[in-house]
Structure 1
Amino acid sequence: MAERRLHPWSWLFVLLQQLKQFIVPLGALLIFGGRTQRDEPWQHLASLIVIAVLVASSILRYLTFRYRIGRDGLTLRSGWLNRSVREIPFARIHNVGVHQSLLHRAFGVAEVRLESAGGSKPEAEMRVLRLDQALALEQQVRHRGSAPQAAEAPTAAASDTLLALPPAEVVRLGLISNRGMLAVAAAFGATYQFFPERVVANFIEFYGRQAYGYASALHLGWMAGVLTAVVLAGLALIALRLLSVLLALLQYHGFRLSEHERRLTVERGLLTRLRTSVSRRRIQSWTLEEGVLHRLFGRRSLRVDTAVAERQDQGARALKELAPLATPAACDALVHHVLPGVQWPPSQWQSIPARHWWRLSLPALCLIPMLTAAAVWRWGDWGWLPLLWLPWSALKSYREMRRMGWSMDQDLIAVRGGWWSRWWRFAELGKLQALRLERSPLDRRFGTASLLLDTAGATSAAPALRIPYLPLAQAQALHAALCHAMARQRLRW
């Protein structure tokens, strides 16, 4: 196939991406440069030179970038003075991400990211292609070098829909999640980054005094003051939940999980549309999560870890969230579909000795007394209040230990934990990358050990695939059985 250029407007999208990186220094030049050279005709000359250089580099990148779709891979040519040629075999590409912002959709184009296992960056980023060319490239990667497909979007009949979230389900997702709180925390962090701490403190102090003075002028009794505080706190919680619903609608509107030729594809987004896909065999581990609000609505979430480049953008998160919200039956059905023949949920869970529950409370037992001593020294009798956390911590630790368990059969290893917020994590034996037997000083004192299992693509955001506090003999026997099972699975694969 002949070499192709990117879309003629691709230089504009590259320019906008570069301007995002230089927006702070450009703003400083425009603001502070205007103060020192207010009446000079060349006062913004430096800013214009920087913008001109960025425009020229964006156009030059468009003129020098070529790509060619071969039978077995993709060829990329770029550069003017320093020229480079990259050959990317289709077999190396594990995920194709097709992203469309509002501006992309207005021009009928899309940004394409080709990702491989490992690493922190995509194999290639193509800004931007016509939408039909982007989808044709995605089809070509799926077919691993077969004859090019017609350059048109796949129809609903070409793929099977495994899960779709209607608007009502997206609203439930917003009510359950804490995205509003995270957005407010991020806004506060950005405020402290962009404004001096003194300015923020003075702002809070000024309006705090205004609010306190207004409340004092009303001459409210203590009961009315308490009710007012409760009402304001309730209104704040409602506002945060509404913000969470709005963010969920922006991110998950039109969510659709589909399968075509053993590749799972996730599409979602209201303003920015994200489309990303991965082969089923690239899924390394699974995580089911169920919080208190999940149980209230009768829902769970299902996430996976995949053997692709680890990034923190929306496309990477979309790929991991196979079911942002679904009923327990729907989550189990997804597992059965992707892992046919696997027993899930396990017929029997092996328990962890509950007598070690106090070890889960050790952080609180060490930290709370020190905080209490400092609080009593600073505020007197009110400083004893932190001790009220200890009974709750003990109850939570005991109930969590009672619920801990693990299960292993010829195909799957699974662990479960949590009580207030519950989770299940499992992986195929053939996908395990490492197995470690750990013993802390407390383990040696009480004759226990912990097993830590690792898979490719595992992140710290998910619960660890770990079996803690097992009796030493049982841990050693399980370690030997897992080593044998892993070797047998790899030979079979």
Structure 2
Amino acid sequence: MSADMSADAGAEGSGFAARPPGGGVEDAARTGEPKRTAPLSVVIGSLSSVQGAILPAIFAAVSTGGAGVLIGLGVGLAITVIGSLFSYLGWRRLTYTVGEQDIRVESGVLSRSARSVPYERIQDVSLEQPLLARIFDLVAVKFETGAGGADDLALAYLSSAEGDRLRQLVRERRDDAQEEGARDEGAAAGAETQAARGEEGEALFAMDTGRILTFGLFEFSLAVFAVLGGLFQYANSFFDFDDIDERVVEQVVERQGGWIFELGAYGQVLTALAGLVAVLFIGSATGIVRTVAREWGFVLERTARGFRRRRGLFTRTDVVMPVHRVQGVQLTTGWMRYRFGWHGLSFVSLAQDAGSTSHVVAPFAQLSEIEPIVEVAGFRLPGDNENWHRASRKYRTDAMIWDSMWFFVAAVIAGVATAIWAPEWTWIAAAGPFVLGLLNAGLQALAWRFKRHALDETQIMAVSGILSPKKQIATRLKLHSVEIAQGPISRLRGYATVHLGLAGGEFSIPGVPLERAREVRAKVLETIASTDFSRLEGAGR
């Protein structure tokens, strides 16, 4: 919840004056006085400025002739000094206050802002440690509100010990605020909560080095070429590559690799194979590096607070997902890893995960490893005897026609154009898009066979995808709404798209026959209407 300067100043009487911090987290919580983050945050900001000054300094040094080294050093020093100054001013003007009802953060050097979030709106408090912060034993504390993006609060950086204490304190106050509305059941709920807090974490899933490296092999990525392209564009602003003498380039190529051209066609094939091998190697290496950096030390535990996930080599994250906030589960895979039985499991949750609407809890696992995690979350995987329902055959036909129509239109345009300007190429130009249209129509017909949904007494499931099937599962009890949507064609043809109101995510089932869609809506609404949500475990949290 954001507030403007005058409203916040009037409400709490403190204005925006940054009072010097004092005491620990407990003292700040008791007195409600503003505190600053760790002073070492300024050092991290300065080091980040040095990191950001390296490339501009290098390009400035190379592109300015004889005195380039001095100019490059000057550019790097100027960027570092300016960045360090803003880092210090930002630290001086950033304060946080842990109050009785909410946590408040005031920030801004020239333009001041104040944001406060009541404890009952905080879904969870997560800790994150980038590489530089880990060196100084600091953490970034993130307060997840479930709205995502700029609506979440973050404090960068606190000491690890203070970050842990602040997380525990905010969680306790959040629980107290949420339990205030259910005092009639307070004794039983309080005893259950205290018992749960005494439980120790249980490891549900972990990935060792071998598993992470194997995962990396399937995460083929050419992102490095995008980075090199960006660097080239950046360098082009300092260098004029058009001034390079082409004859010099040709001489270098002939001197270093002229023997390849002497082989004629074999040399071209060899060059192509070498390029393909290089791309495969770079793509595989990039995938492994990115996977290792993201998933290193991955462990998922069941704790008294819920699911706790820790991972990361350079940036270490520590996230807790309460069990009752898991709204649904998703199983995804890739066309290659699916052949080896590897899947990824994500929870759809009210809290956000690095800009996403789901929490990855088992990124690379077999179904036998995923099933226990799903059961702990209160779901079950589809069985062999599931009562699946396919999409409407009319939907299949319409999808085949509509998605392939553009290829057929392109074939007509290409045929007419070549018939006017190049008659000898007419059939070839028209045949290409036409064949692609037929192939796409066949794929749409095949995809229809794999697009299914099922509804049982407790949950609804949907499966789609040919080479890399995707499964979505949601508990009927946690759905907020059911909507039947029809466009002009679907209304005429008698099918609809069922949109399920899932907090924190999206769940839609297209092409459902209208009668079946109404049946699904009626059953889900019956479950929702017959439930007293105030009596559910974790209600209101």
Q: TM-score of the superposition, structure 2-length normalised?
A: 0.72
State the AA in 1 paired with 2:225: V
Question: Which of 457, 465, 475 is equivalent to 2:507?
Answer: 465
- Residues 273-288 of structure 1 correspond to what in structure 2 (within 5 A)? 273-288=316-331
For residues 403-426 of structure 1, give each alpha carbon's deviation from its aligned partner in whole angstroms, at most 9, with x where no partner exists: 211122332122111111200112
Query: Residue 260 of structure 1 aligns with which residue?
Result: 303
Query: Residue 477 of structure 2 aligns with which residue?
Result: 430
1:270 is paired with a residue whose SS is coil
> Equivalents in 1 of 2:526, 2:333: separation in Å?
33
Query: Residue 185 of structure 2 aligns with which residue?
Result: none
Does 119-128 or 99-108 show the bigger shift? 119-128
Pick the structure with greater CA Rg: 2
Residues 441 and 44 of structure 1: CA distance in aligned 2, closer, same or farther (over 3 Å):
same
Number of residue pairs matched?
464
1:175 aligned onto 2:225: no
> Equivalents in 1 of 2:435, 2:79: separation in Å?
59
Residues 142 and 259 of structure 1: CA distance in aligned 2, closer, same or farther (over 3 Å):
farther
CA contact under 8 A between 2:50 and 2:79: conserved in structure 1?
no
Deviation at residue 250 of structure 1 after TM alignment: 1.5
Query: Residue 294 of structure 1 aligns with which residue?
Result: 337
Query: Residue 360 of structure 2 aligns with which residue?
Result: 321
> Equivalents in 1 of 2:490, 2:481: separation in Å?
21
Query: Residue 519 of structure 2 aligns with which residue?
Result: 477
> Equivalents in 1 of 2:175, 2:518: separation in Å?
49
> Equivalents in 2 of 1:202, 1:487: separation in Å?
74
- Residues 396-475 of structure 1 correspond to what in structure 2 (within 5 A)? 396-458=443-505, 465-475=507-517
State the AA in 1 paired with 2:311: R
Residues 80 and 468 of structure 1: CA distance in aligned 2, closer, same or farther (over 3 Å):
closer
1:7 aligned onto 2:38: yes
2:314 is paired with a residue whose SS is coil
CA contact under 8 A between 1:11 and 1:62: conserved in structure 2?
yes
1:351 aligned onto 2:390: yes
Deviation at residue 325 of structure 1 after TM alignment: 0.7
State the AA in 2 paired with 1:442: I
> Equivalents in 1 of 2:344, 2:404: separation in Å?
32
State the AA in 2 paired with 1:483: L
CA contact under 8 A between 1:301 and 1:324: conserved in structure 2?
yes
State the AA in 1 paired with 2:471: W
CA contact under 8 A between 2:374 and 2:380: conserved in structure 1?
no
Residues 82 and 470 of structure 1: CA distance in aligned 2, closer, same or farther (over 3 Å):
closer
> Equivalents in 2 of 1:185, 1:72: separation in Å?
47
Question: Which of 149, 152, 155 is equivalent to 1:120?
Answer: 149
1:96 aligned onto 2:125: yes
CA contact under 8 A between 1:18 and 1:54: conserved in structure 2?
yes
Residues 81 and 194 of structure 1: CA distance in aligned 2, closer, same or farther (over 3 Å):
closer
Unaligned runs of 5+ in 1: 148-156, 459-463
1:163 aligned onto 2:200: no
> Equivalents in 2 of 1:190, 1:172: separation in Å?
30
State the AA in 2 paired with 1:217: E
2:471 is paired with a residue whose SS is strand
State the AA in 1 paired with 2:279: A
For residues 232-289 of structure 1, give each alpha carbon's deviation from its aligned partner in whole angstroms, at most 9, with x where no partner exists: 4244223312221121111111111122223222211122222222322232332111
> Equivalents in 1 of 2:243, 2:75: separation in Å?
35
Query: Residue 12 of structure 2 aligns with which residue?
Result: none
CA contact under 8 A between 1:70 and 1:145: conserved in structure 2?
no
CA contact under 8 A between 1:121 and 1:311: conserved in structure 2?
no
Residues 35 and 234 of structure 1: CA distance in aligned 2, closer, same or farther (over 3 Å):
closer
Unaligned runs of 5+ in 2: 1-25, 29-34, 177-198, 537-541
Query: Residue 283 of structure 2 aligns with which residue?
Result: 240
> Equivalents in 2 of 1:366, 1:414: separation in Å?
31
RMSD: 4.3
> Equivalents in 1 of 2:48, 2:151: separation in Å?
16
Question: Which of 333, 345, 348 is equivalent to 2:372?
Answer: 333
1:308 is paired with a residue whose SS is strand
> Equivalents in 1 of 2:225, 2:71: separation in Å?
41
> Equivalents in 1 of 2:371, 2:72: separation in Å?
65
> Equivalents in 1 of 2:106, 2:389: separation in Å?
56
1:229 aligned onto 2:272: yes
Deviation at residue 57 of structure 1 after TM alignment: 4.2
1:320 is paired with a residue whose SS is strand
Q: TM-score of the superposition, structure 1-length normalised?
A: 0.78
Q: Percent identity?
A: 21
Question: Which of 109, 113, 127 is equivalent to 2:138?
Answer: 109
1:452 is paired with a residue whose SS is strand
